Structure 1
Amino acid sequence: MTTTTLSATQAPVTDAAALTGKRRIAFASYVDENYLPGFLVLLRSLALSNPAVCEDFVVLYDDLRPGSIARIRALHPRIVLKRVNDTHYDAYKKGDQDNYLVRKAYFILDVFRLREYDTVITLDTDMVVLGDLGELLRLREGLAAVPQFFYGQHKLNSGLLVIQREYLSEEFCARLDATGRSGDYELDKHDQGILNAVLDGDFVRLDPRYNFVKRRLSGDLPVPEDTAILHFTGRHKPWQGGESGYSLAEEKWREYDLSDADFHAEYLARAGGLHHDLIVHYGTPHVARTGDVETARKVAAAHIASGDYQDAVDILESVRIPLDEAWPHEVLGHALMSVSRTAEARAQLLLATAAPNRAATAYARLAQMSWVQGDNAAALTYATAGMSVDITHRSSRLWAQRAASVPAQELGAPEDQLAHVAFYMDRQGNAGDKLLPESVRSAFGPDTGSRRWHPVHAHRLFDEAALERVNARRGLVIGGGGLFIPDTMPNGNSAWQWNVPDELLRRIDVPIAVYAVGFNAFDGQSYRASRFRDSLRLLVEKSAFFGLRNHGSIEKVRAMVPAHLHDKIRFQPCPTTVTRRLVPDWQDPARREDTILINAAYDRAGLRFGHDYGYFLAQMAQAVRELGELAEVRCVAHSLDDEKLVFDLRREHGVSMPVIPMYDFENDEIRDLYARTKLVIGMRGHAGMIPFGCGTPIISLISHPKMAYFLRDIERPEWGVSVHDRHLAARLVERSRDLLRDHAATVADVHGRQQELWKITEANAADLRVLLGG
């Protein structure tokens, strides 16, 4: 296998979507002033019939007025306007060159010029959505459409198209143009005629319910119950007065011909499964108009789910919450504690404890807030109260355990110690996070205990007492996780995981080393608050050493700080990736077990899988069956939630495999297990980095950019497969066979890649010894 030296400066990192392979899906329509009424009904029907779906909606247009655009934007939060290249189609031969409607019929073909998406679903503006479109969102192959009603299976109706990326290409556009300019198609069928001529029957056939043409209902027949999309083909449109003989169909259309106020109210009244972007988009004006407390709660909860904590506070503070409405008080308390308005949060959460159905959650939040503030006694009192309401309440039990834990006795003198800010994980917490603090400490020497180290939990408020303790040490190390993430333990002081106010950060007078921290925002997740940028800039300014664990994180952080600070930000691999070099007396295993370990992650599942979880599960079922021919396949669970893979595979596909509860392991057990297996296929960052550091071959299931960042840094991107890959199972099995075929050579390659990371770690260690001593 080839070996090359890792460069300290890599090429610019590709955007997150390209790294994760997450599919970008959009709807699209051509809209003009004449068809605007139909399009507004289409948008409302899409939201009401598919309330959990919110993808980009591309509006192709040429003559829309500003007021019309405003009406469109009011109905959808992700409108993307694209002006059509109308003159492009003047060269096409047409049945009636002078008819403006004929001219505009070709403009929808501009959809094939979109390059930002993997799947585009086109909808004619004379359609109304009546049912679930999930099947269309999950399509991954070909160009799909419903065959024409009158012309048999060979020709499609272009009112609805599901177009995959291979058709969104210059090559396919050239074929459309050649056919249009030659006139070698049914001229009276316009865009549809060109598509049928080019495809010549080569399209994926959909059930007619996805483009159920009005003509099927002639004689006032009722609309079939399973109709997903009703299409008002023909000259007479419902907003123009309709057509005799189709009154039942037009009644369906008129159900969605609502005022914005009525539409907002109807959407928000839907029970469960609403998309948070749509809740915010429709709920915000509804609250402003009505002052409705329940809607304000839903909007605030949606803001919290996307990390917009101040927005959640603002909308709930804009309404009057009755004293006996516990749930809104609890959500407001949650939002207030997330922006560090502690006293106000406590008042709101105490009000919420009056209702039995909200009390346990409210008490758990009160316990969390007290623990963050350093008051263990109050935290234990609140957590105990939560368990008295609901003995099974997991969060209350967690905070009771934290509050009751006794800190380890510190054996060393302060002047001989380093302070260490990290996320110190609880037992049964994420195994990777549990291992990290010790791994970071091991990079500074073999003594990782309290003689040399003073722990500072990142999530507890860094107050005057904590400042005094840190300044009594000889230095401060910050590291032990992807600390740059907005929502694991939100606070208003820094807006990242270390809860440190700026004024106290400024007063730290010992050297600060930021060590192997990761920028862990998911694809589709961002830091919207300037608070994070300001805190980050100050941290970079104050640090004597600022090392990030991958070049992707370096690029993200550099983009958030002034240019004069860029050179301070350097590459420091995660110490778990060089475990063999750091653990005293490390011995590679004399023999390995004939096993393949698989890990899947389920936190923020919507950001990881999008619409593809069912596909992922089916592919994993196939992969597990085939991998079982190579070795015994086991599931390794870094956290309790990771066991969901096994439950779902057994329930949905009848595939079983044993579970290893790594969340219960001690650090040596974690390293030992990963060192003794032959191959690890993991979705968590440290389900790749830890086994790699133990010398074990890995394949990463990429659902987060950081997985791809790491593989790029070690120059083995082929060791990663996107969870969205069209041939996920086949690629996993093929790459597993490749890595296992000559296992000794593969392990040697892992060691070689690791050696390059170790060189960087050693060079940084020399600088750190000068900065921190020791």
Structure 2
Amino acid sequence: MTTTTPAEMPPAGIPPADAPVPAQPAPANALTGKRRVAFASFVDENYLPGFLALLRSLALSNPAVCEDFVVLHDGLRPASVARIRELHPRVDFRRVDAAHYDTYAKGDQDNYLVRKAYFILDVFRMRDYDTVITLDTDMVVLGALDELLRLREGLAAVPQFFYGQHKLNSGLLVIQREYLSDAFCARIDEVGRSGDYELDKHDQGILNAVLDGRFVQLDSRYNFVKRRLSGDLPVPDTTAILHFTGRHKPWQGGEAGYGLAEDRWRAFELTDAEFHAAYLALPGAKHHDLLVHYGTPHVRRTADPDSARRVATAHIVAGEYQEAAELLGSVRIPVDEAWPHEVLGHALMSVSRYEEARAQLLLAAAAPNRAATAFSRLAQIAWIHGDDTGAAQYALEGLGVDPTHRANRLMYKRTRDAEAPDEGPAAGQLAHVAFYMDRQGNAGDKLLPSSVRLAFGRDTGPARWHSVHAHRLFDEAALERVNARRGLVIGGGGLFIPDTAPNGNSGWQWNVPDELLERIDVPVMVYAVGFNAFDGQAYGHGRERFLSSLRKLVERAAFFGLRNHGSIEKVRELLPPSLHDKVRFQPCPTTVTRHLVDGWTDPAQRDNTVLINAAYDRSGLRFGHDYGHFLAEMATAVKGLAGRAEVKCVAHSLDDERIAFDLRREHGIALPVIPMYDFGNDEIRDTYARTRLVIGMRGHAGMIPFGCGTPVISLISHPKMAYFLSDIERPEWGISVHDRHLGARLVERAAGLLDDHAAAVADVHGRQRELWKVTEANAADLQLIQAGVRV
């Protein structure tokens, strides 16, 4: 358990933790504020065996944790670097400035161990992380480190065992960003050069002199020193980190009287084959990077199909579909092992190898425990190819196996009564590629196609529009239908994302092969599309496919408009300079709803409500280690706002209701839930227009209410939120979900908007007018394009 001293105060220059809503150091990730966390150790050749054991112990004790590991060193052999890389997928080698520490006063200047003892202090010179956890190389990790990863305040350490509670043991430090500063480094240098510290304690002596007892005290189980086990005592079961202090190290032969402790260390003295097998055999969740890093050589060594299935599943979850197909396709899967067949089928369909996928999924469908999922994927393949009858049949077979299977139920409803819309004459229509959301789907995605169409005219129905679902295969028949129209509109939404409706034809949401894209001979207008990748999300092996498709689309487009300048910057980075000027700004049409909807009138009176939206898709990318912090801060915010308005949860999708469940379970707070996923477009707009304030995490939980004239505060967990607020020049309307004082800041900013609500609404209207000017200017160009005039 973490404790703090009653008089705990940070050193000079560091704001106290209990200051009222203080400014905080700029986060390493400036857009989302997501904390960047790293482990760090100083490693040399003498201590390399200890460090390798430490890396193995960290992975085996915390299989779901994989942060960057910074290796500070003063020179390592290439073979040593290679061994370290084999044991950790995110290692970062940084050479220390050894000469810098030669200026420090020391007890023994000629002892190389004394000289190197100071090199770990280089960690305070790192500026690209928000939290750094240092570990001595004579440690092994025996338990979960979740509590350390959640720490947000101060500099934390375990007090020294023999010297009372006011001095820390520097073997483990949890350092927050305010200490990773020039000011704190200057204080370290000042003390080190003056010699005004316990010289025989080296780096630890300097830190104790600088901090003078002002540190967050951790329980001893996080730095359990070997000396406490003298007399061959067993290691307590609660020990999270065991520290082999003293001259005698386990890899050097050890020390009499500590046999049981050293047995714990030797449990991590494993060959690569033993280590990989041990990691894969662990129960529970595993981190993608670790599972792939250890699992891939294990599969190559053993050709075990179940191990291959687990590694391939990790690839799929991360959007690495080609990697999954290659790995699982490299092993022989017995006919009766349904699960690997199903996963391979999933990977193959995600890279558009549909016939191979069908074969794998049919094998999987023969096993009752995998049949429902296999049938749902077979139904998806049939639907992608325009076979609604076949899709409905597969979905029905899946429901016969499992009547509760949601994907099969939704597909059956989508296809059983599918009829071609009663469209007007083709020559008078525009074709529209979009993601057309099913019932109970994301409310923002449901509203988008209609909003895009409003930007082209008041008639959004089938008389004027021919719908082309982005996720269905764009084949010869689809090409013929599009070319019979007078133009093709693509948008809106964040279509440039690798893991929503993956395919191997384009690498983004529209399932269009290059050769068919090139044969579209009507004007192509890309309208308000977004680049929607999360921080840390990449295209993997599909990157080249995406780049090729993107370039051909930009080349072919008569109009290419992206919905924020952040997306423009990202897309331009992927294009040759000759295409940069074709990429222009077109705000999402939901942000100018008041100007688009025919007969729009602002509400004469608003409900006294504040609507809160939280998103849970890809929650690891959104929250990192901070979900508990986010939830507690939201509880603070809800309590703080309760006296001003009724606070409700607005759920764009079913998963968004989780915040209501979690607040009730963890904090005893009950929030009414508005199931917006069940609403029609008019009801969505009306609900947002009539509330006083929306605090939203989804992009369209900010853009839709803003477009309806309602003040918003964005809970930023994705770059697109920051992009939008930057475009409207109101970054203060956004707060990171990782903000240390999120609850207090939300209450403060919400109170400002609610107390002078008329001014807040007027500000929204003013910002919206600027977006409308851009939209009107683009509309003039779009009219010329539709008339056959090149712009």
Q: TM-score, normalization: structure 1?
A: 0.98
Give the secondary-structure state (helix, strand or coil) at the position aligned to 1:590.
Answer: coil
Q: 1:176 aligns with which of 178, 188, 200?
A: 188
Output the amino acid matched with 2:156.
A
Q: Matches of 1:675 and 1:252 in 2, distance apart?
A: 62
Which residue number corresponds to residue 10 of structure 1?
none
Q: Matches of 2:418 and 2:72 in 1, distance apart?
A: 63
Q: Matches of 2:28 and 2:583 in 1, distance apart?
A: 20
Q: State whether residues 16 and 523 of structure 1, in contact with CA within 8 Å, keep that contact through their aligned partners in structure 2.
A: no
Which residue number corresponds to residue 21 of structure 2?
none
Q: Residue deviations 1:290-310, cap 9 Å, x none?
A: 111111111111111111111
Output the amino acid matched with 1:306.
A
Deviation of 1:272 (Å): 2.0
Deviation of 1:708 (Å): 0.6
Q: 2:372 aligns with which of 342, 360, 371?
A: 360
Unaligned residue ranges in structure 2 (runs of 5+): 1-25
Q: 1:512 aligns with which of 524, 547, 572?
A: 524
Q: 1:685 aligns with which of 688, 691, 699?
A: 699
Q: Matches of 2:539 and 2:574 in 1, distance apart?
A: 10
Which residue number corresponds to residue 9 of structure 2?
none
Q: State whether residues 410 and 454 of structure 1, in contact with CA within 8 Å, keep that contact through their aligned partners in structure 2.
A: no
Deviation of 1:480 (Å): 2.2
Which residue number corresponds to residue 319 of structure 2?
307
Which residue number corresponds to residue 572 of structure 1?
586
Q: Does 1:166 align with 2:178?
A: yes
Output the amino acid matched with 2:125.
R
Deviation of 1:400 (Å): 1.1
Which residue number corresponds to residue 62 of structure 2?
50
Q: 2:387 aligns with which of 362, 375, 384?
A: 375
Q: Matches of 2:561 and 2:211 in 1, distance apart?
A: 54
Which residue number corresponds to residue 11 of structure 1?
none
Which residue number corresponds to residue 130 of structure 2?
118
Give the secondary-structure state (helix, strand or coil) at the position aligned to 2:174.
Answer: strand
Deviation of 1:404 (Å): 1.9
Q: State whether residues 27 and 34 of structure 2, in contact with CA within 8 Å, keep that contact through their aligned partners in structure 1.
A: no
Which residue number corresponds to residue 22 of structure 2?
none
Which residue number corresponds to residue 108 of structure 2?
96
Q: Matches of 1:153 and 1:541 in 2, distance apart?
A: 67
| C-alpha distance 273-630 of structure 1, shift in aligned 2 (>3 A) | same
Q: Matches of 1:546 and 1:17 in 2, distance apart?
A: 29
Q: 1:766 aligns with which of 774, 777, 780?
A: 780
Q: Residue deviations 1:393-428, cap 9 Å, x none?
A: 001111112222424533311111000000000010
Q: Matches of 1:15 and 1:347 in 2, distance apart?
A: 49
Q: Residue deviations 1:643-679, cap 9 Å, x none?
A: 0110111011111010000000000000000000000
Which residue number corresponds to residue 489 of structure 2?
477
Q: Does 1:446 align with 2:458?
A: yes
Q: 1:65 aligns with which of 77, 80, 94?
A: 77
Q: Matches of 1:439 and 1:648 in 2, distance apart?
A: 33
Output the amino acid matched with 1:681.
I
Q: How does 1:290-439 map to 2 (within 5 A)?
A: 290-407=302-419, 409-439=421-451
Q: State whether residues 95 and 188 of structure 1, in contact with CA within 8 Å, keep that contact through their aligned partners in structure 2.
A: yes
Q: Matches of 2:426 and 2:46 in 1, distance apart?
A: 77
Deviation of 1:377 (Å): 1.2
Deviation of 1:16 (Å): 9.7
Q: Residue deviations 1:11-51, cap 9 Å, x none?
A: xxx99931110000000000001000000000000000000
Which residue number corresponds to residue 724 of structure 1?
738
Q: How does 1:714-753 map to 2 (within 5 A)?
A: 714-753=728-767
Q: 1:605 aligns with which of 606, 619, 625?
A: 619
Deviation of 1:329 (Å): 0.3
Q: How does 1:83-162 map to 2 (within 5 A)?
A: 83-162=95-174
Q: Does 1:663 align with 2:662?
A: no
Q: State whether residues 325 and 348 of structure 2, in contact with CA within 8 Å, keep that contact through their aligned partners in structure 1.
A: yes
Output the amino acid matched with 1:81.
F
Which residue number corresponds to residue 755 of structure 1?
769
Q: Matches of 2:456 and 2:400 in 1, distance apart?
A: 45
Q: Matches of 2:101 and 2:659 in 1, distance apart?
A: 51
Q: Matches of 2:650 and 2:787 in 1, distance apart?
A: 39
Q: Matches of 2:257 and 2:342 in 1, distance apart?
A: 54
Deviation of 1:355 (Å): 1.1
Q: Matches of 1:162 and 1:399 in 2, distance apart?
A: 49
Output the amino acid matched with 2:580.
H
Give the secondary-structure state (helix, strand or coil) at the position aligned to 1:274.
Answer: coil
Q: State whether residues 578 and 693 of structure 1, in contact with CA within 8 Å, keep that contact through their aligned partners in structure 2.
A: yes
Which residue number corresponds to residue 473 of structure 2?
461
Deviation of 1:626 (Å): 1.1
Q: Matches of 1:480 and 1:15 in 2, distance apart?
A: 31
Which residue number corresponds to residue 649 of structure 1?
663
Q: Matches of 2:38 and 2:707 in 1, distance apart?
A: 40
Q: Matches of 1:409 and 1:662 in 2, distance apart?
A: 26
Output the amino acid matched with 1:663.
Y
Deviation of 1:772 (Å): 1.1
Q: Matches of 1:411 and 1:197 in 2, distance apart?
A: 79
Q: Matches of 1:16 and 1:479 in 2, distance apart?
A: 33
Which residue number corresponds to residue 629 of structure 1?
643
| C-alpha distance 433-15 of structure 1, shift in aligned 2 (>3 A) | farther
Which residue number corresponds to residue 556 of structure 2?
542
Output the amino acid matched with 2:33.
G
Which residue number corresponds to residue 272 of structure 1?
284
Output the amino acid matched with 1:218.
S
Q: 1:711 aligns with which of 715, 718, 725?
A: 725
Q: Matches of 1:723 and 1:92 in 2, distance apart?
A: 41
Q: Matches of 1:441 and 1:301 in 2, distance apart?
A: 38
Percent identical pairs in the alignment equals 78
Q: Does 1:255 align with 2:255?
A: no
Q: Matches of 1:590 and 1:402 in 2, distance apart?
A: 39
Q: 1:595 aligns with which of 609, 632, 635?
A: 609
Give the secondary-structure state (helix, strand or coil) at the position aligned to 2:390.
Answer: helix
Q: TM-score, normalization: structure 2?
A: 0.95
Deviation of 1:537 (Å): 0.4
Output the amino acid matched with 1:669.
E
Q: Matches of 1:275 and 1:582 in 2, distance apart?
A: 46
Output the amino acid matched with 1:638.
H
Give the secondary-structure state (helix, strand or coil) at the position aligned to 1:264.
Answer: helix
Which residue number corresponds to residue 199 of structure 1?
211
Q: Matches of 2:45 and 2:362 in 1, distance apart?
A: 54
Q: State whether residues 28 and 129 of structure 2, in contact with CA within 8 Å, keep that contact through their aligned partners in structure 1.
A: no
Q: Matches of 1:318 and 1:85 in 2, distance apart?
A: 46
Q: 2:572 aligns with which of 538, 550, 558?
A: 558
Deviation of 1:479 (Å): 0.4
Q: Matches of 2:209 and 2:356 in 1, distance apart?
A: 67
Q: 1:675 aligns with which of 689, 694, 697?
A: 689
Deviation of 1:477 (Å): 0.3
Deviation of 1:741 (Å): 1.1
Output the amino acid matched with 1:725.
D
Deviation of 1:354 (Å): 1.2
Q: State whether residues 17 and 523 of structure 1, in contact with CA within 8 Å, keep that contact through their aligned partners in structure 2.
A: no
Q: State whether residues 106 and 191 of structure 1, in contact with CA within 8 Å, keep that contact through their aligned partners in structure 2.
A: yes
Output the amino acid matched with 2:58.
L
Q: Residue deviations 1:149-204, cap 9 Å, x none?
A: 11101110000000000111111111111111111111111000111111111110
Q: 2:653 aligns with which of 639, 646, 653?
A: 639
Give the secondary-structure state (helix, strand or coil) at the position aligned to 1:518.
Answer: strand
Q: Matches of 2:218 and 2:423 in 1, distance apart?
A: 71
Q: Matches of 2:707 and 2:321 in 1, distance apart?
A: 37
Which residue number corresponds to residue 14 of structure 2?
none
Q: State whether residues 52 and 273 of structure 1, in contact with CA within 8 Å, keep that contact through their aligned partners in structure 2.
A: yes
Deviation of 1:621 (Å): 1.0
Which residue number corresponds to residue 3 of structure 1?
none
Q: State whether residues 423 and 465 of structure 2, in contact with CA within 8 Å, keep that contact through their aligned partners in structure 1.
A: no
